[in-house]
Amino acid sequence: MDDLTTLLSVYYQCTAMAEAHVLPQVERFACNETYQQVKRLILDGDLSRPGSFLTHEQNTQAYLLFKSWEIENASLVETLKSQ
């Protein structure tokens, strides 16, 4: 798996566990960091580096790009969610 699919696999597991209310707060924060890493990978250039700071506009752009990526890769998303 590449970095993106590895992070997404973790992110989708986290999301399912959070929705089931079985994640303690510390793990929810870790899941959020995974989500932030996914968004940074979706972006191009320097912003894709872990730890880079995204402005509100860049965060919105990353979110929209991620949602578009999910639509374009729906079968992969379903596979990752089912793992």
pLDDT (tens digit, 9 = 90+) per residue, 63-77?
999 999 999 999 999
Query: Where exactly are the structural domains of the chain?
Result: 3-82
H-helix or E-strand spanning residue 6: helix 3-19
Please say if the pLDDT value at position 50 is more than 70. no
Q: What is the pTM for the complete model shown?
A: 0.81
Return the closest-CA partner of residue 69 out of 50, 32, 42: 42
Q: Residue 17 has which token pair? A: 């566990």
Return the closest-CA partner of residue 78 out of 56, 70, 62, 36: 70
Residue range 31-54: mean pLDDT, rounded? 77
Residue range 36-55: mean pLDDT, rounded? 75
H-helix or E-strand spanning residue 65: helix 56-72
